[in-house]
C-alpha cells in the first residue's frame, strides 16, 4: 500500500503549516509524506525556527512554498488547512486531493508585545499543533516515533 501524502496549508506558510509538517515528519517517520504550503508564502518566521529548536526539531532547511508548487502534481490523501483564511480561500477541490480537513489555529506571527510575549504565543501554538498532529496520527493508526 502506498503511504499517504498530506499537505498542511495556511496563508503565509511561515509558522503553523510549517510546524505541522515538521511534527508529522518527526512523529510519523516514513509512514507518510508531509508537505506544507501557503496561499501567499511569506518566508519561514524566525520564531518558528527558534521554538521548534527548543524541542529538538531543526527547521533551518525549511522554506515557504506556494500552493501552486503542488496543485495537480502530487496526489494528497489529506489536505489540512491550519488557518481560517486558508480554509476559506483554498479551492474546495483540486486535482489529486483526497480528504480535506480543517484545524484552526491562531496565527502566532500576528502576536504583539515584547519578544518574550511573542515567543510565548509561538510556543503555545506549537504545543497545540504538536498535540493535534499526534492525535491525528493515532486516529490514522500510524505509530508515533521519536518520543511520541
Active site includes 100? no
Query: How confident is the model over 63-79, as a mean pLDDT?
Result: 89
Grid coordinates standing for 36? 506544507
Domain count, the chain: 1
- Between residues 121 and 98, which one has the greater pLDDT? 121
Q: Is 96 part of any domain?
A: yes
Contact 6, 80 (CB under 8 A): yes
Confidence of residue 87 (pLDDT cuts 50, 70, 90): low
Confidence of residue 8 (pLDDT cuts 50, 70, 90): very high
- Asked if pLDDT for residue 99 goes beyond 90, the answer is no
Share of the chain above pLDDT 90, in %: 69
Domain holding 116: CATH number? 3.40.50.2300
Task: Provide the CB-side half-sphere exposure for 71 (13 A, CA).
Answer: 12
Q: Is 40 part of any domain?
A: yes
- Expressed as residue numbers, the domain containing 134 is 5-140
- Check residue 75 and give its pLDDT: 87
- Asked if pLDDT for residue 86 goes beyond 90, the answer is no
- Check residue 73 and give its pLDDT: 85
Active site includes 90? yes
CA distance 128 to 108: 12
Catalytic one among 90, 97, 125, 142?
90
- Asked if pLDDT for residue 88 goes beyond 60, the answer is yes
Contact 26, 133 (CB under 8 A): no
Catalytic one among 7, 19, 22, 83?
83
- Check residue 131 and give its pLDDT: 97
The pTM for the full model equals 0.91
Q: Is 62 part of any domain?
A: yes
State the average pLDDT for the chain.
89
Active site includes 33? no
Q: Is 148 part of any domain?
A: no
Catalytic one among 6, 7, 9, 10?
10
Query: How confident is the model over 9-16, as a mean pLDDT?
Result: 92
Amino acid at each position: 500500500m502506498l503511504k499517504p501524502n498530506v499537505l498542511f496549508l495556511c496563508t503565509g506558510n511561515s509558522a503553523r503549516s510549517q510546524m505541522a509538517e515538521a511534527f508529522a515528519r518527526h512523529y510519523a517517520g516514513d509512514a507518510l509524506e508531509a508537505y506544507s504550503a501557503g496561499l501567499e508564502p511569506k518566508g519561514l518566521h524566525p520564531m518558528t525556527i527558534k521554538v521548534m529548536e527548543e524541542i529538538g526539531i531543526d527547521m533551518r532547511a525549511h522554506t515557504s512554498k506556494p500552493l501552486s508548487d503542488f496543485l495537480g502534481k502530487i496526489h494528497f490523501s489529506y489536505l489540512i488547512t491550519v488557518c481560517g483564511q486558508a480554509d476559506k480561500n483554498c479551492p474546495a477541490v483540486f486535482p489529486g486531493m483526497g480528504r480535506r480537513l480543517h484545524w484552526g489555529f491562531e496565527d502566532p506571527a500576528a502576536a504583539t508585545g515584547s519578544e518574550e510575549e511573542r515567543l510565548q504565543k509561538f510556543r503555545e501554538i506549537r504545543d497545540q499543533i504538536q498535540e493535534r498532529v499526534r492525535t491525528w496520527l493515532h486516529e490514522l493508526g500510524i505509530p508515533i516515533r521519536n518520543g511520541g
